[in-house]
Amino acid sequence: MNVGMKKLAAALTLVCVGMASVNALAEDANPKRGRVYFKMVCTVCHMTQAGKAIPPSSSTMAEWGAYMDADKHDKTGASNASVKYYTSQEYRKSVADSNKAAKKFLDVPDDQMLADVRAFAISGAKDSDTPASCE
Amino acid sequence: MKERATHNETTHGLSRRGFLGLLGNAGAGAAMSLRAFDAVADVVPHRVPTYRKVETLGSVCAMCVNRCGIRARVVDGVLEKIDGDPRNPNSRGGTCAKGQAGIMQVYDPDRIRYPMIRVGERGAGKWRRASWDEAYAYVADNLVKIIEKHGPESLFWSSTTDLTETFFVKLGTYLGTQNNARHATLCLASRNVGYFASMGGVPEIDLANSKYILMYGANRLESFELPYNIDLVDAVQKGGKLVVVDPRMTYTAAKGEWLPIRPRTDLALNLALMHVLINEELYDKEFVANRTVGFEALKAHVAQNTPEWAEKETEIPADKIRQMAREMAAAAPAVAIFPGRRTSWYTNDTIFRQSMGMLTGLLGAVDAPGAAYFGGDKAKLGSYSWAIEPVELAPKFDGFVEKFPLANHEDGGYVHMRDAILNGTAKNPVKGWMIYHQNPLVGVLDSNKTLEMMKQMDFIGVIDIQPSQTAWMADIILPETTYLERLDPVWAPASTPAFMAIRQPVVATQGEAQPVLEIIKGIAKELDKRHEFETPITEAFDFTMEEYVDAQLKGTALDRAGLMKEGIWVAPTNGLKFGQFRSGEMTFKTPSGKLEFVSERFIRNGYPGLPVYASPREEPGKQRLITGRHAWFTHSFNQNNKWLNALYPENEVWINPAVAKEKGINDGEYVKVKSSRGEIRIKAKVTPRIRKDTVFICHGFGGEKGGQTTLAGRGGPDQVLMESAADEISNNQAMHETFVEVLKG
């Protein structure tokens, strides 16, 4: 594990205290894949639906961790309004025809995709060492 | 090598004589004077005064990095005059000598007009003209050969900031390489990391309303940064005090109080200023208590850094340091601790810039009129939706990310990366180098090392408009259109008021030059024929510039046709808003959310949380070499411009009269300047405007005879003398760490 991955793992551990299952996933999370998914699936939808990008650097590592744990994607009241849903194979399949990244990652298991996105968001948080935009 | 321009310098409206007349008044960002009309009158007889088709088009300058608004006057299809656009909130109608001389970028007889393939030894200057089809195939052949033999990590990818740079960087990404070395690593990377540590980012400064301006080396009146060079003049005219700390008396220093500091001791001065502010309880107690962390640790850290201690280090009198601290405290919060732009000076630049953010916090010179601020307005643009990037990119060579965890990894680090290539410590041999809009043979210190690195390359490709020193050493030169011949992405900077501007073609392209996007598309087609990439490169670049611009303008106030007609769109504004950081409504982008005197980011990456000062080394009998810009040139970009070169044909080595006398050197005579890395011949400028222990050479001149016939053989190249050195945290090159001997002829 290189220094970058060690720092990421440490950051994930910091915000995932008490969540053994998530920690186990974090060790294998691929923030690079999470980055591509975040930029090409999440941001595309945010720009359309919310009219703005929501970059990882808009929140702290702890806030991203808490947000992911709460798993409440938005306040629309929609039945599927969870982060878990928007990273799931079900969602990816539903937009695969119009979104190449969703199509590319169709076979990635739900838990893995969620962990990847979580890892990228936390590694790019505003109090991280590498705050990330959506560009 | 190439056909000469069909236009000579007197047939397109403004002659060199006229241009020189125009610039009789040229100061910092000076707007056109009435003399311009005389200048134009000089050349009117060249033309029939009737039947002329005159167009005035709005666009964006690219003669330096500031992107001033311009109005291009085109007569019968020939670019005759460039003026400033008064609607641009940053440049406010001004255009400098460089901006006006942009005409000669188009009509320069040295300009590359066709793809050129090397036929002799590298650097011998033997070329043959190629078709674009052949050029694309040549580049693709070489890149694919290297990728298939050594992997994408064997490609080195370097470029300089401009609106089109993103396309070049993306091409590297789709090829799978992360070995970028961008402009920031030669310029301001250390400033960015230092302020990132203390303030969470580099703040803007409300300079026009500052009552006390402290500039460390920043030379805003010769090295423009908009709107600061204009606002600085306004602030001084309104009675603001300007203090410039610099071993050399620049024109900026001449407008205020010059403190000729001993080089590489700037951090000591900052520590002492903080010592006085704390010791005399002059700091902003409310701001420190509510919006900062680490004050007690800072207090203990600077306890020994008395003005008397600092006087021994900096050679600035202790009383002066006390006076500075008191005056700043009295003016606070309207104090500008100016972050600066090029901070590639010393190996401790990052922690020095960290200390500037700390001093800003101690004064509470944040989020108030005349102070540092974050935010401001920005026009909201849409964005083009790119094809999927490869997930697994090749690692940066030789552990750059691990060795410089806080450096901007997308910008890379030239010095480290060059060493990795030369020392063979990169995982795979680096064999291919693509360069866009950059001249690393001049811009990177210790250029003999760069030449050595070039020898190891199987392939070097350059995209440029000029046969720069670097292009001269390439295997192929791909000619790009100038900024006056092409459509570029929309530009919308952080600015109050917000605006968006467009760079558009104002004249027809000379020769067969192409915009970089078209060049990349041509290469992409050939790449995909030869290799299967994770995302086909043609798919990634399957769009036109018009489509890219349309995507940016989706949902904005103007469409492409509307913006091209106007050249610029300016948003209504209520002016700057202050108070949100002071109230805690907004937080600093630091781990604590506050301004950090002790950097948590530094601590968690193994660096000291507070800046630790070390006295600089000295070499008796030698002078420390420093470099900088001249108002008429940008890096090494336009020294070959005939009109600009006529204003300042060659650079000089500045040397103090006492040292010159000791060595028997007279003003204006040619001398030798020698370091451990090289020797140059250059004219001496004997002047009391520089310390005895320092010499200055303006950057971007000299070098071996190459394709730039105006510049060739003129002046001395500072980069030849500079030893390889870099900032310890950001890997920004450190250009002021070399000692030289100045010897009579």
In chain A, residues with a C-beta closer than 8 Å to the C-beta of B533 are none
Contact A129 B604 (CB under 8 A): yes
Specify the pTM: 0.91
Strand order through the sheet with B257-259: B257-259, B241-245, B212-216, B335-338
Residue owning tokens 């700037």: B266
> If you average pLDDT over residues B272-287, what whole number do you get?
98
Q: Which residues of chain A have pLDDT under 70?
A: 1-27, 75-80, 134-135
**Residue B400 sits in the same domain as residue B434:** yes
Query: How far is residue B559 from each of residues B59, B113, B321, B384, measured CA to CA in Å?
Result: 16, 32, 55, 15
- Give pLDDT, residue B600: 98
B310: domain CATH number is 3.40.228.10
- Region B648-672: mean pLDDT is 97
Number of structural domains (chain B) is: 4
Q: What is the pLDDT of residues B318-333, one digit of tens each?
A: 999 999 999 999 999 9
Average pLDDT, chain B: 92
Asked whether the beta carbons of B70 and B99 are under 8 A apart, the reply is: yes
B743, β-bridge pairs: B672
Question: Do A7 and B405 make contact, defined as CB atoms within 8 angstroms?
Answer: yes
Does a structural domain hold residue B33?
yes
Any domain includes B618? no
Contact A32 B393 (CB under 8 A): yes
Same domain, B699 and B719: yes
Number of Cβ within a 10 Å radius of residue B609: 20
> Is-cis flag, bond preceding B536, omega within 30?
no
Residue B222 lies in a domain: yes
In a domain, B4, yes or no: yes
Same domain as B475, residue B491: no
Q: pLDDT per residue over B604-639, tens digit each?
A: 999 999 999 999 999 999 999 999 999 999 999 999
For B410-430, letters b (16+ CB in 10 Å) and e give ebbbbbbbbbbbbeeebbebb
Residue B171 located in a structural domain: yes
- Consecutive H or E run containing B329: helix B318-331
Both B160 and B247 in one domain: the answer is no
Domain check: are B640 and B717 in the same one?
yes
C-alpha span between B511 and B190 (Å, rounded): 40
CATH of the domain at B727: 2.40.40.20
Three-state SS for B221?
Answer: coil
Q: Look at residue B110 and tell me if it is in a domain.
A: no
Q: Is the pLDDT of residue B222 over 50?
A: yes
Whether B372 and B251 share a structural domain: yes
- Asked if the peptide bond before residue A31 counts as cis, ω within 30 degrees of 0, the response is no
B343 and B470, same domain (yes or no): no
> For residue B739, what are the β-bridge partners?
B624
Provide the residue type at B595 as one letter: L
Chain A contacts in chain B segment 143-202 (CB below 8 A): 200
What's the confidence (pLDDT) of residue B237?
Answer: 96
Please tell me the distance from the alpha carbon of residue B428 to that of residue B424, in angstroms, as a whole number: 8
Q: For residues B554 and B567, what is the distance between their CA atoms, to the nearest angstrom? A: 17
* Both tokens assigned to B206: 């409300």
ipTM of the complex: 0.79
Contact B95, B26 (CB under 8 A): no
Instruction: Tell whether A131 is within 8 A of chain B (Cβ).
Output: yes
Hey, CA dihedral for B704, B707, B713, B716, is it positive or negative?
negative
CA terminus-to-terminus distance, chain B? 35
pLDDT above 60 for B26: no
Average pLDDT value for residue range B157-178 = 95
Which domain does B433 fall in, by range? Answer: 116-179+394-480+515-543
Chain B neighbors of A131, CB-CB under 8 A: 589
Same domain as B446, residue B522: yes
CA angle B63/B69/B72 to nearest 5° reads: 80
Instruction: In whole angstroms, give the CA distance from residue B394 to residue B36.
Output: 54
Instruction: Please tell me whether residues B277 and B291 are part of one structural domain.
Output: yes
- Token pair 């230092």 is found at B194
Residue B75 neighbours by CB distance under 10 Å: 15
Q: Say whether residue B382 is in contact with chain A using an 8 A CB cutoff.
A: yes
B376 pLDDT band, cuts 50/70/90, is: confident
Residue B109 lies in a domain: no
What CATH code is carried by the domain that includes residue B131? 3.40.50.740
Q: Can you give the pLDDT at residue B38?
A: 38
- Clarify whether residues B412 and B521 are in a common domain: yes
Could you tell me if B89 and B161 lie in one domain? no
Closest CA to B278 of B334, B326, B330: B326
For the cut 90, the answer to whether the pLDDT of residue B54 exceeds it is no
Residues B473 and B594 grouped into a single domain: no
Q: Which residues of A touch B391 (CB under 8 A)?
A: 30, 32-33, 36
Question: Which residue in B111, B76, B153 sits closest to B507, CA to CA?
Answer: B76
- Res. B65 pLDDT band, cuts 50 70 90: very high
Q: For B127-151, what is each residue's pLDDT tens digit?
A: 999 999 999 999 999 999 999 999 9
Instruction: Burial-class residue B635 by CB neighbours within 10 Å (0-12, 13-18, 19+).
Output: buried
Distance of alpha carbon B168 from alpha carbon B151, whole angstroms: 19
With CA atoms as reference, report the closest residue to B336 among B501, B481, B181, B220.
Answer: B220
- Looking at the domain assignment, is residue B197 inside a domain? yes
